[in-house]
Every structure is written in structure tokens, then in C-alpha cells.
Amino acid sequence: MIFIVIIFFIAIITAFGVLAFRAWELRTGQTEVEIAESPVQQLSLRQIEKIMLYLLKHFIQGLVLVVVKYWFTTTTKISVWLKEKWPKVNAIFKKKPQSTIPQKPSFVTKAVLESKSKIRRLKQKIREEHAVESEN
């Protein structure tokens, strides 16, 4: 869900950048503003494609906003409803408080920690060897 929100913000920022660049071009006079002689222009296939992509972009952004809004609203209402109506079900989904008694690390945890320390020592050894070679 966060990924969709990030994509949405990137799309908004990109659209703002494109509009700002076009406004800067028009302000500085780098492009000529074409004034149409007739109110109805002949639309090329490329212009129709651009218009459709523009409309599709706004439709998708609106759809994403609606989905995100209703997703958060629904999850919030369901969590409140579960707390009120079914406290036993809510207790299942709650995080259990961690005990303050430290547990003995498992075999896999020990192996991972040993591997990390060996890798650190190996990196340090390689750095020292290369430092000695570069000084000579």
C-alpha cells in the first residue's frame, strides 16, 4: 500500500515538474505560442494519443486515491469494531508483550552471528593486506 502511495506522489511531482518546465519555456520565449486560426483544429493520431494518456493518468490517480481512502477507512472501522464487539478476536491480533527474560539464542541465530563476525574479520584482513600493498 505504501508503494502505491509513493508512486502516486512521484507522479504528482513529475506532473508538476513538466508543467513548470513548460511554463518556463513560454515565459522565456523559447517556444512560440501557436495561435490557431480556426477554433476546430485537425487532430492527429499522436495528439489523440496524448490526450488519452493524459485522461488515463488522471483516471488512474483518482482510482488510486479512492482505493487508498476506502482501504484506510475500512481497516480503521474494522479494527475499532473488533475492539468493541469481539475483544477475544482482537486479542489474537494484538502483539504479545516481549518477556524481559532473555532467551538463549537458537542454533541458526548463533550460526548467523558467527558468520557475520567471520565476514567482518575477513574484510578487515583484506583491507589491511591491501593497505600494506598500496604503501609499498
The pTM score is 0.35
Q: Is the pLDDT of residue 123 over 80?
A: yes
Residue 126 confidence (pLDDT): 84
pLDDT tens digit sequence for 31-69? 665 665 665 567 788 888 888 998 888 888 888 888 888
Cα 51 to Cα 71: distance, rounded to the nearest angstrom: 30
The pLDDT of 68-77, averaged and rounded, is 87
Closest by CA to 12, choosing from 50, 60, 66, 46, is 60
Helices (H), 86-106: 87-93
Which range has the worst mean pLDDT, 80-84, 100-104, 131-135?
131-135
Residue among 90, 66, 75 nearest 4 (CA): 66
Between the ranges 86-90, 92-96, 126-130, where is the mean pLDDT highest?
A: 126-130
